Each structure stands twice: as C-alpha cells, then as structure tokens.
C-alpha cells in the first residue's frame, strides 16, 4: 500500500454537460494535503476516463476520498466506491461533502463507507491520513470525523472553522492539471472555472444547506489574498470565471466595491450569486464596468408570507426595488423561483407562476427557472417537511433521486404538474443560455417553441417533454461522451 498517496474523486453530479465545473470540493482538500507533503491524485468523472480511476486505485492509495451532494451524484459516487472496493478491498473509503456531513451516521451505515468527514475537510483529512500512516485503529481524537469499528459508529465532535487566509490556492500542484484541462475543453467561454472568495452565508434560508454546514459563519478572504490568487488564475490562462461563493463576498458591499475594481483592473469576466436587495444603480454600474457578465438571484417567491416562512430575510418590497434597479442595466440575469413548499396553497403557487410573467415583462430576456422544493437533511425546513409526512430514505442510496425533477413531497397533490412546470420553465426561459449552442439543439429547438406556447396557455396536457427529458437524464453519460467526441 502506498502510504503517502491519497486519491480524491468527484463523480458526475448531473446528466447535463454544462454542469461540468471545476470541483473545488476536492481541489481545496488536495491542495491542503499537498502543502503538508502528501501525494494527491484526482479523478473527476466529467473529464477523466474511467480507466484513470482504475489505474489510481490499483496503485493502492492509503485512502480514497469521495465527495458528494444530496442528488444524482450519490448514485455515481456509490458506483465509484463499489469499483474501488473490488479493485482494492483494503483501501479505506472516505466520504465527504454536504450530504455525508448532514447525514453522517446513515452514510456510515453503508458498506461502501469507512469514514465520513463532516464540514470543512482540509485538516480533518490530513489528521486521518496521519493516523492511517501510523496504523491506528482508533480515531476519537480527530475532530470532524465519523468512523466505525465493526458495527459501532462514532461521530466525533465538530471541527472549528479554518482560517481561510492560511488555505492554499486550490489550483496549485495537481489542481493545475484539472484547471488546464477545463480551459482546454472550454474554448473561450471559461464559465466553468470556479473561484472561492468567501465561505459561508450570513442569511438563514430554511431550504439551504448553509445553516447546518457553515452555521452562518462567514469568512471573506483578504484583499491581498484575493489579488494574489486572481493573478495566479490570470497567469494560468483564465479570463472568465464563476464565483462559487454562496453569496458573493458574503454580501459585504464595502468589500464588493474594492474587489470589483480589482476584477476590472485584471480584465476578468465573471459570474456571481448576489442578494437582490444589494444593488444601487451606482453599484450595478460598477459591476458592469468590472466585468460581471451574469447575475444570479434567489428570489424564491413574491409572497411575503412565503418569504417569511422560508426565512428568506427579504420581502416583496425589497424584491420589487431590486428588480427596478437591475432591469435598468444590461447584465444577463437569472431570477430563481420555488414552488411546492410545505404548506403552500394553490393560490400562492399560482401567484409565483404569474410573478414569472411579471419578471419577464419588467426585465425582458431574464431567465426565470421555477424549481420544486426538495427537503434536504440538515436544513431548517427539513423538520417541517417531516411533520407533513415526508418520508426520508432509510439508506444512503435512497437519496440519489432527490432532485428538483423528482418531487416526493406528500403534500403535493399533483407532483406531475410540478415536474412539468420545472421542465417547461427550463426549456422556455433558459434555452438561449444552455441548450441552443450544443449538439442537441436539433431536438431542443422545437421543444423550446412548444414550451413557450405551453407556458403562455398553462397547458400541460400530453406533456411528452417529460419523457424525453427523463430519457436524456437516464442516458446522460452517453450524451456527455458523445459531446466530448464532437468537441474533439
């Protein structure tokens, strides 16, 4: 066994090729381990062939790390774990990411899991690595770790948050190889290059993982550190990127002004997720001049009662004022809406659908996806969902289909309608950004026109699009491979 080698893996998280973004979930960990003298190899299923994973496991690493969210990705992560078990049965499988962090005990019940890293994993993984190198069998002293001895599961106390000023640049070392591969694949778009300027979010949205995972602790990198890392990105050939921050720079307007000036100076094009009540006309102008090419807003609902229930921390007045400012600019914009919430009335849902039309009138060309609510473990609204009859999966693999297109909420009388609205809004309002420029536009072009008609008339009879969508989803890996062949 190679006692100084760690393999960090990221399974495909979506059947759609546009979701292939640089996996900071493992690159941040790997850079930290490399900084401490550990040899790291990465496997990213979106860009690497499966032969690479087999070769890496055959090298008998001291551990294999697997990162996953609560979604489609779990299925593919289990598939990688089973393959690793077959090739190297004695190599420990260490799971991390949002889902294992929030469902640590249940995750550890799986035969495909030996350890779980809860929360930020950099130092926890390093301490686990050292313990395994020393041949230890008892791990109670490692904060942030879940582990098992025989059938006994132990969850150690949570680890304190790290000082992000001391964390290494994720694209140093072996991370550079993945970055360069993404640049090569991306051509001139580079939307799939991610950068993290902060961790955590100050808000307490009831549907979001942040309240559990980051405990509302927000840490923003210093101006000096951000400058240094952006210069490194520039030297590596990046000129367009996405800020992975849950809320851009934790919503700190004073910091935004300085960072936007820096981005302008370095001639970056960039995308960010911002609260809708952030902007003044002057700040919006600075964003545009600073290279912002796309803004994402989680609006969720136009209804004050719903916004209060989901703890959004904003009201309809703030939303209206934000739309008024943002629509006066010309930065491409997305306003995300949510339906199917616990206790939501039919009237409230219809009000949200009508609000999508209002948004399109007030801000022509804006994207307005409408997503069904999904109860995620660890979130504030999860308990509300359980009270209303939501049945949580009893095992790890049961979470693999917890996505917006597979509504399982028992309070929804017509889940098929919510599926249809989700797919309809995507085909109608996001076609230009995601669908018309890759090979499947031949199929999706006519569906886009049909979706616009369906939306206008709210007509979901004979909704054949859902079957085509599900077929595409089931065959996603095939289509991604085909996309790779065509691009090459």
Q: What is the pLDDT of residue 480?
A: 52
Instruction: Say if residue 145 is in the same domain as residue 202.
Output: no
122 lies in some domain: yes
- The answer, yes or no, to whether residue 14 has pLDDT greater than 80, is no
Same domain? 37 vs 138: yes
Q: What is the tens place of the pLDDT at every residue in 151-183?
A: 899 999 999 999 999 999 999 999 999 999 988
Residue 426 in any domain: the answer is: yes
Q: Report the CATH number that the domain containing residue 272 is assigned in CATH.
A: 3.80.30.20
**Which pLDDT score is estimated for 436?**
63
- Is there a single domain that holds both residue 84 and residue 213? no
Q: Which residue among 149, 168, 203 closes a domain?
A: 149
Q: Does 139 share its domain with 61?
A: yes
Q: Predicted confidence band at 334 (pLDDT cuts at 50, 70, 90)?
A: very high
What percent of the chain shows pLDDT beyond 70?
Answer: 92
CA geometry: angle at 299 spanning 400 and 410, to 5°? Answer: 40
The Cα–Cα gap between 39 and 45 comes to 20
Regarding whether 272 and 337 lie in a shared domain, the answer is yes
pLDDT band at 479 (very low <50, low <70, confident <90, very high): low
20-69 residue pLDDT tens: 789 999 999 999 999 999 999 999 998 999 999 999 999 999 999 999 99
Select from 324, 343, 373 the last residue of a domain: 373
On whether both 233 and 368 belong to a single domain, the answer is: yes
Inform me whether the pLDDT recorded for 385 exceeds 60. yes
Q: Domain total for the chain?
A: 3
Same domain, 311 and 422: no
- Other CB atoms closer than 10 Å to residue 39's CB: what's the count? 18
Instruction: Evaluate if residue 341 carries a pLDDT over 60.
Output: yes
pLDDT at 207 over 70: yes
Same domain, yes or no, for 140 and 220?
Answer: no
Contact indicator for 406, 383 with CB cutoff of 8 Å? no
Domain identity same for 192 and 322: yes
Domain C-terminal end among 345, 373, 401: 373
| Residue 278 structural domain | 187-373
Task: Tell me what the mean pLDDT of segment 432-439 comes to.
Answer: 65
Sequence-ordered strand ranges (E) for 11-92: 39-44, 61-67
Q: Identify whether residues 244 and 360 lie together within a single domain.
A: yes
> In this structure, are 348 and 272 located in the same domain?
yes
Structure tokens at 402: 């917890």
Q: Which of 12-26, 121-135, 168-182, 388-402 has the lowest mean pLDDT?
A: 12-26
Q: Is the pLDDT of residue 444 over 80?
A: no
The answer to whether residues 25 and 97 touch, using CB atoms and an 8 Å cutoff, is yes
Residue 157 lies in a domain: no
Residue 486 confidence class, pLDDT cut points 50, 70, 90: very low
Tens of pLDDT, residues 259-316: 999 999 999 999 999 999 999 999 999 999 999 999 999 999 999 999 999 999 999 9
Q: What is the CATH number of the domain that holds 123?
A: 3.40.50.280
Q: By the 8 A CB rule, do 239 and 193 touch?
A: no
Residue 254: inside a domain: yes
173 domain residue, yes or no: no
**Inside any domain, residue 390:** no
Phi/psi for 42 (5° steps) reads -110, 150
Same domain? 223 vs 323:
yes
Answer whether residue 181 is part of any domain.
no
CA distance 249 to 258: 11
pTM as predicted:
0.91
With a cut of 50, say whether residue 488 has pLDDT above it: no
171 lies in some domain: no
Length of the chain: 488
């Amino acid at each position: 066994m190679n006692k100084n080698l760690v393999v960090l893996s990221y399974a495909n998280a979506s059947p759609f090729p546009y979701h292939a973004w640089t996996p900071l979930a493992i690159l941040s960990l790997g850079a930290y381990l490399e900084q401490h003298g550990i040899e790291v190899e990465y496997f990213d299923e979106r860009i690497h062939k499966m032969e690479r994973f087999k070769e890496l496991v055959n090298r008998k690493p001291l551990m294999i790390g697997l990162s996953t969210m609560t979604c489609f990705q779990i299925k593919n992560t289990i598939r990688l774990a089973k393959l690793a078990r077959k090739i190297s049965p004695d190599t420990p499988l260490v799971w991390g990411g949002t889902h294992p962090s929030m469902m640590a005990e249940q995750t550890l019940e799986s035969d495909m899991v030996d350890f779980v890293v809860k929360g930020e994993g950099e130092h926890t993984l390093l301490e686990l690595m050292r313990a395994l190198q020393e041949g230890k069998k008892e791990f109670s002293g490692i904060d942030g770790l879940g582990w098992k001895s025989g059938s006994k599961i132990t969850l150690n106390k949570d680890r304190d948050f790290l000082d992000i000023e001391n964390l290494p640049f994720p694209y140093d070392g072996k991370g550079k190889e993945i970055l360069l591969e993404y640049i090569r694949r991306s051509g001139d778009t580079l939307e799939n290059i991610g950068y993290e300027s902060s961790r955590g979010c100050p808000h307490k949205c009831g549907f979001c993982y942040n309240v559990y995972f980051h405990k509302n602790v927000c840490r923003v990198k210093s101006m000096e550190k951000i400058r240094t890392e952006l210069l490194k990105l520039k030297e590596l050939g990046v000129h367009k990127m996405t800020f992975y921050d849950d809320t851009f720079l934790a919503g700190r307007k004073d910091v935004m002004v300085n960072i936007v000036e820096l981005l302008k100076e370095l001639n970056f094009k960039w995308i960010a997720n911002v609260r809708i009540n952030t902007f003044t006309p002057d700040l919006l102008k600075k964003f545009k001049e600073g290279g912002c090419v796309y803004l994402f807003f989680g609006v969720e609902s136009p209804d004050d009662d719903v916004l209060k229930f989901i703890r959004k921390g904003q009201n309809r007045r703030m939303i209206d004022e934000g739309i008024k400012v943002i629509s006066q600019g010309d930065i491409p914009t997305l306003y995300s809406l949510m339906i199917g919430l616990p206790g939501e009335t039919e009237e409230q849902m219809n009000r949200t659908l009508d609000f999508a039309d209002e948004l399109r009138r007030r801000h022509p060309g804006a994207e307005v996806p409408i997503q069904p609510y999904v109860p995620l473990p660890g979130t504030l609204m999860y308990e509300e969902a359980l009270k209303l009859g939501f049945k949580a999966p009893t095992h790890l693999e049961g979470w693999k289909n917890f996505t917006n297109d597979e509504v399982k909420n028992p309070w929804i009388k017509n889940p098929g309608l919510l599926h249809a609205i989700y797919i309809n809004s995507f085909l109608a309002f996001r076609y230009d950004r995601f669908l018309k420029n890759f090979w499947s536009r031949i199929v999706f072009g006519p569906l886009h026109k049909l979706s616009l008609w369906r939306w206008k008339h709210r007509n979901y009879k004979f909704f054949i699009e859902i079957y085509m969508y599900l077929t595409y989803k089931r065959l996603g890996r095939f289509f991604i491979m085909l996309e790779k062949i065509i691009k090459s």
